[in-house]
Amino acid sequence: MSADELHTSGVAGRYATALYELADQAGKLDTVASDLENLSDLINGSDDLKRLVESPVFSAEDQGRAMGAIMDRGGFQKLTQNFVGVVIRNRRISALQDMGRAYTQMLATARGEITAQVTSAHVLGDPQVAALKEALNAAMGRDVQLETSVDKGLLGGLIVKVGSRMIDSSLRTKLNNLKFAMKEAG
């Protein structure tokens, strides 16, 4: 099973597939994707909201009221609101972000895009991101979307993951390899 298929399997994959089909029929694929991304950002940005989503202690009614209020204020599409309501009623809200990732993966696959996770020691500037995107587009032969993150423990360099491929040019890995080589030689 490929990495792309892993994102669309299980509960998250089934829900995401249903949402994708509904959004496609309504002509709102991009709008729903934007809603799911915004909702994920809200959840990641608030410890209280994260607790509401992840904790089984809250009743479906409480979760529904809270999420409904947030999505009403945020101007989310009715389709997205209805979807989140179904997810809450079925007590699957803890998998909501996985559903969003699966939906995004389906949308990218339908567009012929692939996603590369790029981890760097420092925040990459716009020129660096553009150059990396251009190089990956050329290497992969299709449009590559970048998801960037920062891990100060890398010390320098990058780790790039595209599907099942990984290129690790981080300074931390190079130093570890040198350390192992020195142990073997000594």
Domain range summary for the chain, segments of one domain joined by +:
3-109, 112-185
Amino acid occupying residue 109: T
Q: Are 96 and 76 in contact (CB under 8 A)?
A: no
**107-134 pLDDT, tens digit each:** 988 888 888 899 998 898 999 999 999 9
Among the listed residues 10, 11, 29, the one whose alpha carbon sits nearest the alpha carbon of residue 19: 29
Tokens coding 130 = 């553009």
Q: 143: which residues sit within 8 A by CB, 6+ positions away? A: 111, 112, 113, 114, 137
What kind of architecture, by CATH, is found in domain 3-109?
Orthogonal Bundle (1.10)
Q: At what angle do helices 60-74 and 78-89 cross, to 10 degrees?
A: 170
**87-96 pLDDT, tens digit each:** 999 999 999 9
Angstrom distance (rounded) from CA 74 to CA 70: 6
Question: What's the pTM value of the predicted model, to 2 decimals?
Answer: 0.68
Among the listed residues 88, 92, 106, the one whose alpha carbon sits nearest the alpha carbon of residue 9: 106
Q: Which CATH number does 112-185 carry?
A: 3.40.30
